[in-house]
Structure 1
Amino acid sequence: MMIFDSHAHYDDEAFDTDRDELLDSFPFNDIAYVVNVGADIKTSQNTVELTKRFPNVYGAVGVHPNEVGEMTSADIMQLRQFAMEDKIVAIGEIGLDYHYREPDKEVQKIWFMKQMALARELKLP
């Protein structure tokens, strides 16, 4: 049986000491593919870099609702560039998260819709 990890954050600093060894070991441990998911601009960029370095790593790029408070139109342009990379397969991690008060609901909705429009434009889930 081959495993497909559909949501991972292997760019996280917790993997800084063994990331290469871990990701290189996946094909030998029945892990066929991984989708690494960005949660802000930096982790989306990290995701793109991982997709270039590891043949079994694919990516999703986006800004999590808890991180949209500082987003700008330039960030959407940057996400568009990231999303056009060969192994980017989705826009994410996006959505609405009302667990915390900030960013407020209206700000979250605006950036969620902009990221959804980007996904639609690029025909990505």
Structure 2
Amino acid sequence: MMIDSHAHMEMPEFDADRKDVIARAKEAGVDAIVTIGTDLDDCFKAVEIAASFDSVYAAVGIHPHEVKKIDAQTYDQMQELAARPKVVAYGEIGLDFFKNRSPREVQIRRFGEQLELAKDLNLPIIIHDREAHRETMDLLSSWKGSRRGVIHCFSGDYAMARKCLDLGFYISIPGTVTFAKADKLRDVVSRVPAESLLVETDAPFLTPEPFRGKRNESAYVKYTAMRVAEIKGIPFEVLAEITARNACEIFKIEL
């Protein structure tokens, strides 16, 4: 059993062969995919895809790149979407100070607002953090919500991972763990208990070895899980089952 805890099946990269991509994931042993909306239109699309495929679930939220577009109606629409069947989380939300496609002060304000919305909706959160570790941890530490959720595509060091675990979050490991220069991430994987890990593709991005350079897809989460199992010194099947069970627990998925 495996779960791809973070993909973007709603993105146009999959418009030509989405059904085939989902079928290949199933053939590879991926029992569920969580597809993650990043703006309002993609959130609608993610929910529609989840409704159309038994193995797909959805998360809805406004990505930090897109928060500059939030208007008076956005959160009302997000609340409506969050109530749809098979919506299992609110996200991905957070901060991205690497590309700064939305102004930093806007990102921080909207992140706080979306944390409060997730609390009101009683949904776990999926956090995007890129080059904004301190600010992300400050906001999560001061937030009065349940702190149920996932740090997606983890890019910090073990000290940060330890703080995330202490706050109650899972750490999600992407395909970058297979890259030659990903020693910091592999150190995190070696030290974080398997019971606190998820695996993800972030498809169509971050394709793991041996397919690096090609479009990523959920079937390839197997290669991430294999590398994580190798680092932790446990059988692949055991690691796959533990991380799938973790995803089922946080997202309330029944398989």
User: TM-score, normalization: structure 1?
Assistant: 0.92
Structure 1 unaligned spans of 5+? none
Partner of 2:43: 44
1:46-85 alignment runs, 5 A limit: 46-85=45-84
Residue pair 1:24, 1:54 contacting (<8 A) in 2 also: no
Identity percentage of aligned residues: 37
Which residue identity is paired with 1:120?
K
Partner of 1:116: 115
User: C-alpha separation between the residues in 2 aligned to 1:71 and 1:3?
Assistant: 35
User: C-alpha separation between the residues in 1 aligned to 2:37 and 2:50?
Assistant: 12
Residue pair 1:4, 1:33 contacting (<8 A) in 2 also: yes
User: C-alpha separation between the residues in 2 aligned to 1:102 and 1:25?
Assistant: 34
Kindly indicate whether structure 1 or structure 2 has the higher relative contact order, using CA contacts under 8 Å at least 6 residues apart.
1
1:83-122 alignment runs, 5 A limit: 83-122=82-121
User: C-alpha separation between the residues in 1 aligned to 2:15 and 2:29?
Assistant: 23
Residue pair 1:38, 1:47 contacting (<8 A) in 2 also: yes
1:24, distance to aligned residue in structure 2 (A) = 3.2
Residue range with higher mean Cα deviation, 62-71 or 21-30: 21-30
Please give the secondary structure, in 2, of the residue aligned with 1:96. Answer: strand
Which residue identity is paired with 1:47?
A
Q: 1:101 to 1:50 in 2, by over 3 A?
A: closer
Please give the secondary structure, in 2, of the residue aligned with 1:95. Answer: strand
Residue pair 2:66, 2:101 contacting (<8 A) in 1 also: no
1:100, distance to aligned residue in structure 2 (A) = 3.0
1:2-17 alignment runs, 5 A limit: 2-17=1-16
Alignment length (residue pairs): 124
Please give the secondary structure, in 2, of the residue aligned with 1:92. Answer: strand
Which entry has the higher C-alpha Rg, 1 or 2? Answer: 2
Q: 1:114 to 1:18 in 2, by over 3 A?
A: same
User: C-alpha separation between the residues in 2 aligned to 1:37 and 1:51?
Assistant: 10
